[in-house]
Amino acid sequence: MMAAINNLVLGLLLRRGMKNVPQARRRFEAHLKEAVALVLRC
């Protein structure tokens, strides 16, 4: 289950054109509202 969630997150980040995945993950960890908006926009 965790692998599926990880793959979903990676796919969303790459779809949005984010090239530095670790940096993007840290940003969304710090800005939860932005992370939720990212998931709801797809």
- Per the confidence metrics, is the pTM higher than 0.85? no
Please count the other Cβ atoms lying within 10 Å of the Cβ belonging to residue 30: 9
Q: Whole-angstrom Cα distance, residue 7 to residue 5?
A: 5
Contact partners, residue 34, CB within 8 Å, separation at least 6: 27, 28
How many domains are there within the chain? Answer: 1
Please give the chain's pLDDT, 42 residues, in tens: 899 989 988 998 999 899 999 999 999 999 999 989 988 886
Q: Is 22 helix (H, G, I), strand (E, B) or coil?
A: helix
Range(s) of the domain holding residue 24 = 2-41
Distances in Å between the Cα of 20 and the Cα atoms of 1, 13, 24, 25, 26 are: 24, 9, 6, 9, 10
